[in-house]
Structure 1
Amino acid sequence: MTQPAVHPVDARLPLAKLFTLGLQHVLVMYAGAVAVPLIIGGALKLSIDQVAFLINADLFACGIATLIQTIGVWKFGLRLPIMMGVTFTAVTPMIAIGTNPALGLLDIYGATIVSGIIGIVIAPYIGKLLRLFPPVVTGTVITVIGVSLMGVGINWAAGGFGNPDYGNPVYLGVSFAVLVCILYITKYVRGFFANIAVLLGILFGTLVALLLGKVSFAGLAETPWIGIVMPFHFGMPKFDLIAIATMTLVMLVTFIESTGMFLAVGDIVGRPVDQKTLVRGLRVDGLGTLIGGIFNTFPYTSFSQNVGLVGVTGVKSRWVCVAGGMILIALGMFPKVAHVVASVPQFVLGGAGIVMFGMVTATGIKILSTVDLAKNKYNLYIIAISIGMGMIPVASDKFFNKLPHALEPLLHSGILLASITAVLLNAHFNGLRSQAEANALAQEAGKQADTAH
């Protein structure tokens, strides 16, 4: 009797490969993962020791949320190759809460905990919105996700935001060398080493940067080997209604962005996301945010660069991201190792970032290629206007400056603007499908993806 074939998403690779591929995922997300604690710590004028603890707590919680999302626990978990990290959508609201003289860090944690609980409760209702995302909407949103994030990779290549030596030709040269290295390996190397092309490119770039004297290990000797992440390290959380309302709004924005990410990774690996799967994934966004508040960190969502990495490598196994989650937990508990990983310069990540974010964009374009653009001219309007709206925050970060400050989480997310525009225009021009039709469409897309892959 023949055994049923195992889907590539569920394939368990040898331990050595799992570790190497998992480490690759960690390296490409690390800069983004630690950026939010650094920004919040600086804005709230926390001490160096406190910021270091925030980073360790963040990595630890990242790992836990990733394990729940990839392995799946009860009604939680997408069970697809996803890496979880702190959402940048929450940065501005959290700084506003933390720097308010009447509030502070503990109010951020209180609002984070409550918004996470609310997120878990409302996830099934958000999941019912899947029928609002036919291919013309999904493809447009995923394209905007990739294009919006391309700026991150470009800024990495130039040295990173706030770098006084931004645009140094050395940075640009190393970033370009990393890009060429990745492309060379992708074209001429086969087997396992082709799957870790991004990791090899980053290691190559780090070696070049080290030889050029551009890698700093300052502070490594003073960093402890072991750090225990304790819940409520800064004290018991406080609960302010306005802060809670603000972070709940962030949670809703995160859900919309996550929906696009989940649909993208489902398309890439050939296992399309239906309503039930989407709800399980969104619940982890809520649970991860709850865990973040308890362990002294912030709201969590899926990281787009890792979605792009899945597209680049073609490795679809969720167990690779399970390995990545375990590595993140280890980094959170061993600060000295985390310090070494953090020493990889941002300009080294730049070349890899351009590849990965470009792959997200390419996935969106691939989905749009299945949309009827010849007979249905309205689809062109949906795509054109939605992408235009999504590019507003990218092209002009001051475009909405004269509008109420409270609307910032909504208006400064190009992904959200594109999503809302695409959904509304599609409803106007094409009407809304029933949930059954939406699920049938998702299954058909899965068959096409399996054939393509």
Structure 2
Amino acid sequence: MENTTTKHPVDEMLPGGKLFLYGLQHVLAMYAGAVAVPLIIAAAAGLTKSQTAFLINADLFTCGIATLLQTLGLWKLGIRLPVIQGVTFAAVTPMVLIAKAGGMLMIFGAVIIAGLITFLIAPFFSKLIRFFPPVVTGSVITVIGVSLLPVGVNWAAGGVGNKQYGSLTFLAVAGIVLISILLINKYFKGFIANIAVLLGLLVGMIVAVPLGLVDFSGVGTAAWIGIDTPFFFGTPVFDLGSILAMILVMLVVMVESTGDFLAIGEMVGKKIGEEDLTRGLRADGLSTMLGGIFNAFPYTAFAQNVGLVGLTGVKSRFVVATSGVILVVMGLFPKLATIIASLPNAVLGGAGIAMFGIVAASGIRTLSKVDFDKNPQNLFVVAISVGIGLIPLVAPDFFKLFPAWSQTIVHSGITLGSLTAIILNAFFNGGKSM
């Protein structure tokens, strides 16, 4: 995008129409991931249908608040980059166990305290940024992208658990979406090319409707207005074991968020410093605290939207801030959220493959800046960190005999890849990229 001002493209304010369409594009890209966690937790806690609907709307509302906080910033909070926030999947397993042991109130208590701890230790954790030179960031970004690809592939096949998984109809719809995105990028420039994903999703929706893949049945029964009230389920319960489990989750989230922040910084051409990282991690902590108060969960940067930034080239943080506004509105108007939820997995899959592949490609581009000739040991840093980072992806049961407390760490490929890259870079290069 051409920038006619002296501002960095990240700080560029676009016309209202473009802001809305670009922002909506980000919402559509992250929606399925945003509602997946509340659905899983609601099932584990045995919530009723109406309580589950409330939980989803509370999550969307808080997603929007968290995104606004991260993109616009407030005081010493927010990284002020085009980063959309969503519930971290790293917290799913511990929260399911907590829900079965003590219900939703115990989850919310643990989330509030873990968010507070994250907020307080953010300045200390951000000092790790010096251990993230290009050889580390490139490896981490590559692992993020490759780790996300199965999500897009499973969407394209109809979604995990679908009885018709892999149906040629699903694959054809996903293929049409992907081809549409590619054709739009090839034959159009500027604004049209920038909304290629949105247009591809629209084409997919048009194709999916006559095929009977779009279910609008819940729209009629959904409420028009739903207000998220603090502590809707009651007073939080603060259980020490649950709190410690959630703090461990947030340490993992901080590593993943650091990788996502550095990835988005690479894509928009803005160097991330220690102070930036502190603001971003503090925002994660405060958002997570708000999650516990407003009946939601721990929040982190959504990596799938990092790919969308790379695919479209639209770098303005105000675009994603607009996504935050849309999410807040969706959280207040359940009927609108239900309409968006009608987008079939197969349609999302076509776009997902493109977006997640872009993240991996961006990691490879970062690695192209690394000097492998003068320092061939950098090859080991990349090879081993990527290899270990992909273990949870290619062999989900590889670490099944590890202690229960470690499962959150070893099942996160991003965390494993990040820690391996940091350690190997320190070993070979003394913590620097050479």
Q: TM-score, normalised by structure 1?
A: 0.94
Q: Aligned partners of 1:108, 1:92: CA distance in 2, in Å?
A: 12
For residues 117-156 of structure 1, what are the alpha-carbon distances to aligned partners after superposition, in whole Å with 9 as ceiling and x for unaligned? Answer: 0000000011000011111011001100000110100011
| Counterpart residue number, 2:378 | 379
For residues 344-389 of structure 1, what are the alpha-carbon distances to aligned partners after superposition, in whole Å with 9 as ceiling and x for unaligned? Answer: 0011000100111111101110110000111211100111111110
After superposition, residues 141-220 of structure 1 pair within 5 angstroms as: 141-220=140-219
| Counterpart residue number, 1:323 | 322
How many residue pairs are counted as aligned between the two chains? Answer: 431
Letter in 2 for 1:184: L
Structure 1 residue 43 displacement after superposition = 1.6
SS in 2 for 1:5: coil
Task: Give ranges in structure 1 of 5+ residues lacking alignment.
Answer: 442-453
Structure 1 residue 4 displacement after superposition = 6.5
| Counterpart residue number, 2:365 | 366
Letter in 1 for 2:64: G
Q: Aligned partners of 1:163, 1:197: CA distance in 2, in Å?
A: 28
| Counterpart residue number, 2:100 | 99
For residues 64-91 of structure 1, what are the alpha-carbon distances to aligned partners after superposition, in whole Å with 9 as ceiling and x for unaligned? Answer: 0000000000000000101000000000
| Counterpart residue number, 1:140 | 139
SS in 2 for 1:419: helix
Q: Aligned partners of 1:288, 1:432: CA distance in 2, in Å?
A: 31
SS in 2 for 1:85: strand
| Counterpart residue number, 2:258 | 259
Q: Is the 8 A contact 2:38 2:52 kept in 1?
A: yes
| Counterpart residue number, 2:73 | 72
SS in 2 for 1:219: helix
After superposition, residues 42-441 of structure 1 pair within 5 angstroms as: 42-100=43-101, 103-433=102-432
| Counterpart residue number, 2:8 | 7
| Counterpart residue number, 1:448 | none
For residues 160-189 of structure 1, what are the alpha-carbon distances to aligned partners after superposition, in whole Å with 9 as ceiling and x for unaligned? Answer: 122121111100000011000000000001
Q: Aligned partners of 1:341, 1:235: CA distance in 2, in Å?
A: 29
Structure 1 residue 432 displacement after superposition = 2.4
SS in 2 for 1:9: helix
Percent identity between the two aligned chains = 59
| Counterpart residue number, 1:25 | 26
SS in 2 for 1:400: coil
For residues 293-322 of structure 1, what are the alpha-carbon distances to aligned partners after superposition, in whole Å with 9 as ceiling and x for unaligned? Answer: 000010000001111000000000000001
Q: Aligned partners of 1:68, 1:192: CA distance in 2, in Å?
A: 27
Q: Aligned partners of 1:382, 1:365: CA distance in 2, in Å?
A: 14
SS in 1 for 2:221: coil
Q: Aligned partners of 1:313, 1:219: CA distance in 2, in Å?
A: 32
Letter in 1 for 2:196: A
SS in 2 for 1:99: helix
Letter in 2 for 1:175: A
**CA RMSD of superposed structures (Å):** 1.1
Q: Aligned partners of 1:294, 1:327: CA distance in 2, in Å?
A: 21
User: Which runs of structure 1 show a deviation greater than 6 angstroms over 4 or more consecutive aligned residues?
Assistant: none
Letter in 1 for 2:174: S
Letter in 1 for 2:430: G
Letter in 2 for 1:49: S
Q: Aligned partners of 2:139, 2:258: CA distance in 1, in Å?
A: 13
SS in 1 for 2:277: helix
Q: Aligned partners of 2:188, 2:147: CA distance in 1, in Å?
A: 31
Structure 1 residue 220 displacement after superposition = 1.5
SS in 1 for 2:296: coil
Q: Aligned partners of 1:202, 1:233: CA distance in 2, in Å?
A: 35
Distance 1:4-1:359 versus aligned 2 partners, 3 A rule: closer
Task: Give ranges in structure 2 of 5+ residues lacking alignment.
Answer: none
Letter in 1 for 2:58: A
Structure 1 residue 219 displacement after superposition = 2.0
Q: Aligned partners of 1:420, 1:321: CA distance in 2, in Å?
A: 29
Q: Aligned partners of 1:428, 1:269: CA distance in 2, in Å?
A: 30
Residue range with higher mean Cα deviation, 404-413 or 23-32: 404-413
Q: Aligned partners of 1:344, 1:181: CA distance in 2, in Å?
A: 17
Letter in 2 for 1:9: V
Q: Aligned partners of 1:140, 1:393: CA distance in 2, in Å?
A: 16
Letter in 2 for 1:71: L
Letter in 2 for 1:133: F
Structure 1 residue 11 displacement after superposition = 0.6
| Counterpart residue number, 1:35 | 36
Q: Aligned partners of 1:4, 1:211: CA distance in 2, in Å?
A: 46
Letter in 2 for 1:210: V
Q: Is the 8 A contact 2:110 2:246 kept in 1?
A: yes
SS in 2 for 1:221: helix
Letter in 1 for 2:412: S
Q: Aligned partners of 1:104, 1:225: CA distance in 2, in Å?
A: 28
SS in 2 for 1:220: helix
Q: Aligned partners of 2:43, 2:431: CA distance in 1, in Å?
A: 46
SS in 2 for 1:418: helix
SS in 2 for 1:298: coil
Structure 1 residue 44 displacement after superposition = 1.6
Residue range with higher mean Cα deviation, 212-221 or 273-282: 212-221
